[in-house]
């Protein structure tokens, strides 16, 4: 959950998000070193009045500033491609959930069950309980078992939406007539908040997403209760 004056990312709640955070730190360190080197070079050129004649036409210097950026790009591209393929990897999901974006709420369907569907609307401010987050709490949370691979099938019924949960490292567009697929694993129990990240109309700001990760036994009890009601 984000908090005021936060400068970095939210804490990771899935292995993919942990990888993304590590890659962010890796790329940021490279950018910091490049910026420091360029700033040092500019400062040196401004403050030094003498000019070394051998550096005005030096093949060695030209080779260095041609090869070095290529090496830096490779150091950034290789871990980036690795994470990109990891995000598209889907192996034997334990649960499949289909979510549809509407104006302006989400509907969820647990396709492994015969009749387990519900709509998820934002909780109005006047109905919030103490400790709930305004504009982020919903009446029906999407409950998933923790430490289990979950496959999400995402689409929309009217306009473009985007199903995004930052702590899980997920942001997938919901497009009418198209079924997008993504996967995630929650590494610990908790509540993970997200919102629609595609401007979809006047109430775009009122389409929160709440993923509740619970142990498998609690998930089975929740699904049994919901199916019997």
- Helices 15-47 and 59-88 sit at what angle, rounded to 10 degrees? 160
Q: CATH for 95-228?
A: 2.60.40.420
Closest CA to 145 of 73, 212, 191: 212
- Residues 27-42, mean pLDDT to the nearest whole number: 93
- Residues 188-209, mean pLDDT to the nearest whole number: 91
| pLDDT, the chain, mean | 90
Whether the per-residue pLDDT at 198 is higher than 80: the answer is yes
Closest CA to 186 of 166, 220, 218, 214: 214
Share of residues in the chain with pLDDT > 90 (%): 68
Whether the per-residue pLDDT at 49 is higher than 90: the answer is no
Architecture in CATH for domain 15-88: Orthogonal Bundle (1.10)
Tokens of 50: 């003498």
pLDDT at position 55 is 61
What are the tens digits of pLDDT across the range 51-72? 666 666 667 778 888 899 999 9
Q: CA–CA separation, 13 vs 111, rounded Å? A: 24
What's the whole-model pTM score?
0.84
- Residues 29-50, mean pLDDT to the nearest whole number: 89
**Spans of all domains in the chain:** 15-88, 95-228
């Amino acid at each position: 959950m984000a908090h005021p004056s936060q400068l970095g990312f939210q804490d990771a709640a899935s292995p993919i998000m942990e990888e993304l955070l590590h890659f962010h730190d890796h790329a940021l360190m490279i950018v910091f070193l490049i910026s420091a080197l360029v700033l040092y070079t500019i400062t040196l050129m401004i403050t030094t009045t003498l000019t070394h004649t051998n550096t005005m036409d030096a093949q060695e210097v030209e080779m260095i500033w041609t090869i070095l950026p290529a090496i830096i790009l490779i150091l950034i591209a290789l871990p980036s491609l690795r994470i990109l393929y990891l995000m598209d990897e889907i192996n034997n999901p334990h649960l499949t959930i289909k979510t549809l974006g509407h104006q302006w709420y989400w509907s969820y369907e647990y396709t492994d069950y015969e009749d387990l569907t519900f709509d998820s609307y934002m909780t109005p401010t006047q109905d919030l309980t103490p400790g709930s987050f305004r504009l982020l709490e919903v009446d029906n949370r999407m409950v998933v078992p923790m430490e289990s691979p979950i496959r999400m099938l995402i689409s929309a019924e009217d306009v473009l939406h985007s199903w995004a949960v930052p702590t899980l490292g997920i942001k997938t567009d919901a497009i009418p007539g198209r079924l997008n697929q993504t996967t995630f694993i929650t590494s610990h129990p908790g509540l993970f908040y997200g919102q629609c990240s595609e401007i979809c109309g006047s109430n775009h700001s009122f389409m929160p997403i709440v993923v509740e990760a619970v142990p498998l036994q609690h998930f089975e009890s929740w699904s049994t209760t919901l199916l019997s009601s």
